[in-house]
Amino acid sequence: ENNQGGEGFGLFIAYPDGRVDRLPLLESARLQVIHNSADPAAAEVDIYVNEALLLPNFAFRSATPFIDVPANTPLTVAVAPAGSAGPQDIILTLPALTLLGGKTYVAVASGVVGEGFAANPDGVEIGFGLQAYDMAQEKAKWMKYVELIVLHGATDAPAVDVVVNGALTLVSNLAYGMFTNYMRVEPDNYRLAITPAGQPETVVAAFEADLSGLAGGAAVVFASGFLNPTANNAGPAFGLFAALPTGDVVELPAATSLSKLTGVATEKALPTEFSLQQNYPNPFNPTTTISFALPERSAVKIVVYDVRGHQVATLLNGVREAGVHSVSWNGADSNGLSVASGAYFYALETDNYNQIRKMTMLR
């Protein structure tokens, strides 16, 4: 638009016979990477992709900005000690992942590499890996709001609720390794209390979140570190952080008291739309957690089906308030019998929205 409406940038090949062809653009995806592995041995690492060094000296609680990466091709992510001489120094290789063209992702490195760490209270696997979210945003869809997703990234913490200003449960039953969907909040000051799921009187940590200058922006809020550092190789203490699309990471300050802020309406924070999250872990054995978001009070069913379309189990059938909710499946059918290994589908069914996702049970 600054060049009199001329042709966009491109590469061309000229043949001896005078023909000229434009070289096709490779499809790309957008990706932000966040380092949230609290293992002291991984405080700073080199990240390789397909044996090429992508992120040298990548520090704990740091993030990249959103960048263009190749789509529709397998990407093998591997980790080496900081200052590595090359791919021969790689100490950990993760399963290959393939990003889809035109989509925007957040990938968070979480978990621990070594031994001597407390197990997750809910039995969730805590080994080093990537948690990926495939509907990331670089800005808010509604420019007068701030839009956030939350990741539970503290290996020794149970499933949690996040209570806003002492009243509204913004996040419900979020287990380690799980993302919420995006939630829309007004650009204001908030107090966030972290409680074990279903225990609103037990506040394990509280933080101040000043979002007053972020209208039109988006962020990934992630729980980080250990609730009990002494049981985790003296690793970093629990905290709450926000990664911005620019790659800046902001630490949310601890609240000085647990009284709620005054003059802030608790109705300011709600999911922006209906959505069904990918179950975690996946594949799983024997239990997995399914998270879903409701922008309004709704009658909800969560149903599991086999590959032939036969109903296996109903995990939820009732009314839920607006917010983010979770249910668990223990791999049993409606008669309480364990199902066989293989692929299954789970569906979110409401009056105004339906969505189906696939999951895999491994015995």
C-alpha–C-alpha distance, residues 359 and 297, integer Å = 27
Nearest to 92 by CA among 42, 55, 136, 134: 42
User: Which positions ≥6 away from 263 have C-beta within 8 Å?
Assistant: none
Q: Which residues of the chain fall below pLDDT 50? A: 1-3, 258-268
Q: Say yes or no: 190 and 291 in one domain.
A: no
Of 233, 249, 271, the last residue of a domain is 271
320: domain range? Answer: 275-361
* Summary mean pLDDT of the chain: 88
Say if residues 174 and 159 touch (Cβ distance below 8 Å).
yes
**What's the half-sphere exposure (Cβ side, CA atoms, 13 Å) at 192?**
27
Q: Is residue 289 part of a domain?
A: yes
Of 271, 288, 323, the last residue of a domain is 271
Q: Is residue 23 part of a domain?
A: no
Provide the 10 A C-beta neighbour count for residue 78.
20
C-alpha–C-alpha distance, residues 229 and 348, integer Å = 38
Q: Say yes or no: 205 and 341 in one domain.
A: no
Q: Say yes or no: 237 and 282 in one domain.
A: no
Q: Say yes or no: 252 and 301 in one domain.
A: no
Q: Say yes or no: 148 and 214 in one domain.
A: yes
Q: Say yes or no: 171 and 214 in one domain.
A: yes
Q: Say yes or no: 248 and 315 in one domain.
A: no
Of 254, 271, 288, the last residue of a domain is 271
Q: Is residue 10 part of a domain?
A: no
Q: Is residue 188 part of a domain?
A: yes
C-alpha–C-alpha distance, residues 136 and 30, integer Å = 9
Task: Record the pTM.
Answer: 0.70
Q: Say yes or no: 71 and 112 in one domain.
A: yes
- pLDDT, residue 294, reads 87
Q: Is residue 73 part of a domain?
A: yes
Q: Is residue 1 part of a domain?
A: no
- pLDDT, residue 258, reads 45
Q: Say yes or no: 290 and 191 in one domain.
A: no
C-alpha–C-alpha distance, residues 239 and 226, integer Å = 8
Residues 136-191 have pLDDT tens digits of 999 998 898 899 999 999 999 999 999 887 777 888 889 999 999 888 888 998 98
Q: Is residue 135 part of a domain?
A: yes
Q: Say yes or no: 39 and 173 in one domain.
A: yes
Q: Is residue 339 part of a domain?
A: yes
Number of domains in the chain: 2
Q: Say yes or no: 253 and 171 in one domain.
A: yes
Q: Say yes or no: 247 and 320 in one domain.
A: no
Angle at 295 between CA 267 and CA 298, to 5 degrees: 110
